[in-house]
Structure 1
Amino acid sequence: MSEVLNFEAAYKKLCDVINSWEENCQQLSILEAGGGSLSNVTFNKPNSITVIDISREQLENNKYADHKIHGDLHTVAIPQAEYDAVVCYDVIEHLDNPRIVLVKLIGSLKRGGIIILAAPKRDSLSGLITAYTPHWFHVWVHRNLFKNLNAGKPGYPPFRTVFDPLIAPDNLSAMLQGVGAQILLNCSYESSRREHLRHKSPVFGGLFDLTITVGNLVTGRRLEEGDFFLIAQKV
């Protein structure tokens, strides 16, 4: 079995694919779907960035967007064949109907454009905990274990997580291929949140590590692979 990737190694794979793709581009029109106030993906070529987010607070805190749109990705109007790249980073796990949104986002791409997805894996240990615990528990974890004192306040994570069954790398790959996209990257990795937990709370970090070790032995899976990157190109 190959070595489990950490965030840095997985992010390098992500950047390598993006940089190779944009070599043939002059200028980029980029849509950040659910982009909030921070950009997690960078491009080398000159670009114009449009950010859509449901949170007014997040949009107000955004300092880099050229265009800001307040709206729900399920219902907001998104122009067709408008963008060279769509970034949807840690968003799809929060959507009630990710299929509807993803079809809209693929439709918003020009031919040859790419969609970049990043999300937690539901079948990882952290994903299972998130999926089967109430939102107030997520807020408690962020405040008390990760020491994020603003957790749960308007405009601050953690946000409500739905985790539709579509939100799994292989399911997403199949769905995107079904609507005319080619998969350029499907990469799972160990979330840096695990290391943060060890640092912030050694006791809970140790229990988490022990549970992963036992769970891997029982299931034969890699429960530590808590997140994934996926890039698909519209053909």
Structure 2
Amino acid sequence: MTTAGRDSPGTDVKTNGFFAEPLHDYTVRCLGGPVTLLQAGSLAPLRELGIGELAEDGFEISVTAVDADHPLAKRALDDARTGYADVIVGDLRTVPIAQRAYDIVYCAGLLERVQHVELVLDRLVSALKPGGLLLIRTRDRYTAAALLDRLLPGPARKALWSRLHPGTPGPFPTVYEKAVCDAGIASYTLMRGLVIAARGTDRTLPSQPVRLSSAMRVTYAAISRLTRGRFGDSHDELLYVIRRPQDQSARVV
């Protein structure tokens, strides 16, 4: 089995049933060969997929990583390069990615920091085999955390990142296109004929250091009140399990 990738920045990542259960079910149905997984995003917390548990049960998972040609992404991928079957770096709109080659595409910590989100998603969907799963974890543009991330000056963002996510490359540039929200993802899947099998939310602010974490929570709550809930603080990330249909006549890129 080939596994790699970093844990979610600054957190003690554990298996997340939201992603691990559908991955387990898919893997069990794919007896007879290794499951191929494309990790889109250099900081994707692979541990939450439960790959280690699958390995203990005798299943093979081959992981390829892909990310934009950015110094921080290269640094993160270089740190874990020996654990990947392959590493792909380049313009995510054009970089060569084999079509219909992967059972699972796991996209985490990526969409909020790239431009042309729909084109990037098209490339990732095209890499999926019919019936494959697209697992998405992304910041929600319309949250207090995302608004603060966009408004903070660069030096302040770097200082916060170093305190909240020590030892992890970052912070990446902020983009947060309008498609990076629940309505945007829902619209994309509808237009491409994809099926949302599950959707959820998550709060990912690290608990350490305690004083800074507490101050951030107070700040998020204040932003939510000042914006009358338009940028809420009930969550900061969106989670999706999306299936590419087996039917080749469906509108899938």
Q: What TM-score do the two structures reach when normalised by structure 1?
A: 0.81
Q: Is 1:51 the counterpart of 2:62 in the alignment? A: no
Q: For residues 182 and 209 of structure 1, do their structure 2 counterparts lie closer, same or farther at Cα, with a shift above 3 Å needed? A: closer
Query: Paired residue for 2:234, among 224, 227, 230?
Result: 224
Q: For residues 119 and 196 of structure 1, do their structure 2 counterparts lie closer, same or farther at Cα, with a shift above 3 Å needed? A: farther
Q: Distance in 2 between matches of 1:130 and 1:163?
A: 10
Structure 1 residue 221 displacement after superposition: 7.3
CA contact (8 A) 2:16 2:50 kept: no
3-state SS, counterpart of residue 29 of structure 2: coil
Query: Could you list the per-position Cα deviations for residues 76-100 of structure 1 after superposition, in whole angstroms to 9, with x for gaps in the alignment?
Result: 1111111101111111111111111
**AA paired with 1:76?**
V
Query: Could you list the per-position Cα deviations for residues 33-55 of structure 1 after superposition, in whole angstroms to 9, with x for gaps in the alignment?
Result: 22358634343231111112333
1:43-122 alignment, distance < 5 Å: 43=51, 44=54, 45-53=59-67, 54=69, 55-62=73-80, 63-122=82-141
CA contact (8 A) 1:122 1:163 kept: yes
Q: Which runs of 5+ in 2 are unaligned?
A: 1-11, 246-253
Q: Distance in 2 between matches of 1:191 and 1:231?
A: 18
Q: Distance in 2 between matches of 1:34 and 1:147?
A: 17
1:204-223 alignment, distance < 5 Å: 204-205=215-216, 207-208=218-219, 210-211=221-222, 214=225, 218-219=228-229, 222-223=232-233
Q: For residues 33 and 9 of structure 1, do their structure 2 counterparts lie closer, same or farther at Cα, with a shift above 3 Å needed? A: closer
Task: Output the aligned Cα RMSD.
Answer: 2.9
Query: Paired residue for 2:37, among 8, 30, 33?
Result: 30
The number of residues matched between the two structures is 220
Query: Could you list the per-position Cα deviations for residues 137-162 of structure 1 after superposition, in whole angstroms to 9, with x for gaps in the alignment?
Result: 2112123x4273x57xxxx1111120
Q: What TM-score do the two structures reach when normalised by structure 2?
A: 0.75
Q: Which runs of 5+ in 1 are unaligned?
A: 1-6
Q: For residues 203 and 60 of structure 1, do their structure 2 counterparts lie closer, same or farther at Cα, with a shift above 3 Å needed? A: closer
Q: For residues 168 and 21 of structure 1, do their structure 2 counterparts lie closer, same or farther at Cα, with a shift above 3 Å needed? A: same
CA contact (8 A) 2:200 2:240 kept: yes
Identity %: 17
Query: Could you list the per-position Cα deviations for residues 166-196 of structure 1 after superposition, in whole angstroms to 9, with x for gaps in the alignment?
Result: 0012311220232121101110122233x33
3-state SS, counterpart of residue 104 of structure 1: helix
Structure 1 residue 15 displacement after superposition: 2.0
